[in-house]
Amino acid sequence: MSGKPTQMSKIKQLVRLHASGVSNRQIAKDLGLYKGTVNDYVRKLQTSGMQAEEVLQMDEPVMEGKFFAGTAAYLDKRFEDFKERLPYFERELKRRHVTRRLLWLEYITHNSSGYRYTQFCHHLKQQLVARKPSAVLTHEPGEELYVDFAGDKLQYVDRQTGEVVAVNVFVACLPYSDYSFVMAVERQTTEDFLHALACCLRELGGSPKIVVPDNLKAAVIKADRYEPELNRVMEDFANHYGFVVIPARPGKPKDKASVENQVKIIYSRVYARLRDQMFFSLAALNRAIAEKTLEHNQTRMQQRNYSRQEKFLADEKHLLRPLPENDFELKYYARLRVGVNGYIYLGRDRHYYSVPYIHIGEEAQVIYTRQRVKIFCRNEQVAIHERETRRGYTTVKEHLCSAHQHYGERSPHYYIDRAAKRSSSLAALIKSVFDDGKPPEMHYKTCDGLLSLSRKTDPALFERACRMALEHQVTSYNFVKSLLTGNRLSMETQEYKPLPKTSQRRGQEYYK
């Protein structure tokens, strides 16, 4: 009876011959069995109390259970003791550096009559597998898209520097048809991840209902078994393309088994076939990857009479949701304080953007993309600018107060035009101020002083002061001010009276 059990169909013949009165020796000869085997089965039949007709009516698996009740190993007292320790073994195996051999050494130290190492590992494996059964996942067409990054990287050579650049490989898979998309990107940043995902959706020609990523930082801020916290940009991307994001559980690759298996296939059908080729740009590498991926999708699947591409085109593509007309534009968010100068500072670009001066000191919500910067205060958009990625200031004139607008508009023409509105002499004087060949900025304060004097002084007196400054070619603010504050102009306005004539003159003789 040891070794491989005899087929139950032959045992049924054995039972039928025994019921007909044939001897055990003859049964062994007729059926080609060992006589001891026939004796054992006949004895089992007699001790079980079963009738031959009853046994012959049984299905073969049930009949086998009657003749082989099971191994006695699970009835052993050692097994009962082992099952009581199983929760402890399972818990300890999750701790770092704890191995099965270490647990067995501890187990056998306290229980010298326990299982040897081989039996210990066998029963431990059997029980752990039984406690965590694996379910068969069913997928609906066009419902899910699994995405992941492959563990191994590809590379290309920078033609200018000769540097070998390692790149990450993005892999996506529709689990219903097993249709795959593969693309290399520089890094695993949010920008690169979403760029690859957008290229994937364009390749598919639509978007699924659900995208299942791994818990990578580009998509998930905080991994959690029940309520993972998504990246804000990932949420915007999902809203734009009309799908929801349900990340896989941390440390549970079976949640996206299709893409995990797809990565293994990609290693042999893409990586291996490109192993002897050299690429000098990321674009060239991606063209080769796309070519090999297409071959992979067009290859007939094992135990199927169709390819992944045929299955996708026939049953799945038409169920994908249509893509929006415009591509997704990556948005960044920031909360910044409007400075006393009326600007917010975007540290990422090291650039300042103007805000209407009435919002100085308020907290602003900033949403910026690759092209634009939008600024919101009190939940209303108050400014929009073209984005600059260099140091400096971007200013809208209307955002500044009147004093700052004056400061920003200053130029020789600005001062000459303002002076001409008051008097021609003042305009000529200010023009002569800028004619000395020095930088105009050096004379702005002088012009401000002259305009201030024109507002505070009698127009007639100020006009004469300007003409006198022009006659003497002295264009300083202090000279004009001294003319107005001293008695020079008033003395010029007095009537000229000649000296009286007299006959008393001293001639040349007097001075001899």
Instruction: Give the pLDDT confidence of 252-269 residue by residue, as tens digits.
Output: 555 556 667 788 888 988
| Mean pLDDT to the nearest integer, 139-149 | 85
CA distance 418 to 406: 11
In the predicted structure, residue 167 carries a pLDDT above the cut 60: yes
**Secondary structure class of 445 (helix, strand, coil):** helix
Q: Show the tokens assigned to 457.
A: 């002084």
Q: Calculate the average pLDDT of the chain.
A: 80
Q: How far apart are CA 36 and CA 34, in angstroms?
A: 5
Residues 296, 300, 304: CA angle, nearest 5 degrees: 135
Q: What is residue 486's predicted lDDT score, i.e. its pLDDT?
A: 66
pLDDT at 496: 47
Burial of 480 (0-12, 13-18, 19+ CB in 10 A): buried
Cα of 111 vs its chain's centroid, Å: 53
In this predicted model, what pLDDT tens digit does every residue of 393-446 receive, in sequence order? 888 877 776 555 555 556 777 778 888 888 888 888 888 877 776 777 777 778
pLDDT at 45: 81
- For residue 447, list its beta bridge partners: none
Q: Report the candidate in 197, 198, 201, 193 with the shortest Cα–Cα distance to residue 142.
A: 201
Tens of pLDDT, residue by residue over 40-80, are 888 888 887 778 888 788 777 777 777 765 555 555 678 88
**Mean pLDDT along residues 20-26:** 87
What percent of the chain has a predicted confidence (pLDDT) above 70?
Answer: 83
Which strands sit side by side in the sheet containing 372-377, from one edge to the other? 332-337, 363-368, 372-377, 380-386
Question: In the structure, what pLDDT confidence band is assigned to residue 183 with cuts at 50, 70 and 90?
Answer: very high
Distances (CA, A) of 348 to 310, 384, 388: 47, 17, 10
For residue 373, give the H/E element and its range. strand 372-377
Enumerate the β-bridge partners of residue 368.
332, 373
Residue 182 scores a pLDDT above 90: yes
Give the 3-state secondary structure of residue 382: strand
**For the residues 81-95, what does the mean pLDDT come to?**
85
Q: Which long-range contacts (CB under 8 A, 24 or more apart) does 258-264 make?
A: 258/139, 258/146, 258/173, 258/175, 258/178, 259/146, 259/147, 259/148, 259/171, 259/172, 259/173, 259/175, 260/148, 262/146, 262/171, 262/173, 262/178, 262/180, 263/148, 263/150, 263/151, 263/171
User: 3-state class of 508 per DSSP?
Assistant: helix
Please tell me the distance from the alpha carbon of residue 205 to that of residue 258, in angstroms, as a whole number.
Answer: 20
